[in-house]
């Protein structure tokens, strides 16, 4: 649990201090869209009983901490590091491998 709290603090600190490339409403829209899609996916997996590895009927505090503590900050970091002005190769590498492909950017 202490690792989760430390992770939330670090993710939010980095997201708050980073130089932002987009407007605030673009970050909010991306975060809310991601939360909406995950909620829809959770509803369908619950309806068709596709949860076999845990009990979906109980809300866990750790899950809420991840959902509201880490997810928005991680989304901001991922969107901010996207190579908007990079080559097509850099964009494809970023989509396939994430921020680890940053050395291939042109800017």
Q: Rounded distance, CA 10 to CA 24, Å?
A: 20
Q: What is the pLDDT of residue 8?
A: 93
Residue 107 pLDDT level (bands cut at 50, 70, 90): very low
Between 107 and 42, the more confident residue is: 42
Sign of CA dihedral 71, 21, 79, 15: negative
3-state secondary structure of 86: coil
Position 41 scores a pLDDT of: 86
Q: Does position 51 have pLDDT exceeding 80, yes or no? A: no
pTM here is 0.71
User: 13, 3, 4: which is closest to 73 by C-alpha?
Assistant: 13
Can you give the residue range of the structural domain that contains 17? Answer: 2-104
CA separation for the pair 23, 17 (Å, rounded): 15
Residues 82, 94: contact at Cβ < 8 Å? yes
| Number of domains making up the chain | 1
When pLDDT is averaged across residues 15-37 and rounded to a whole number, the result is: 91
């Amino acid at each position: 649990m202490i690792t989760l709290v430390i992770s939330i603090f670090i993710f939010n600190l980095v997201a708050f201090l980073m130089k932002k490339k987009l407007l605030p409403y673009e970050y909010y829209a991306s975060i809310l869209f991601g939360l909406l899609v995950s909620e829809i996916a959770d509803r369908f997996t619950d309806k068709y009983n596709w949860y076999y590895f845990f009990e979906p009927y109980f809300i866990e505090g750790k899950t809420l901490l991840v959902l509201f503590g880490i997810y928005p900050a991680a989304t901001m970091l991922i969107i901010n590091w996207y190579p908007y002005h990079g080559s097509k190769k850099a964009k494809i590498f970023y989509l396939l491998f994430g921020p680890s492909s940053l050395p291939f950017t042109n800017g």
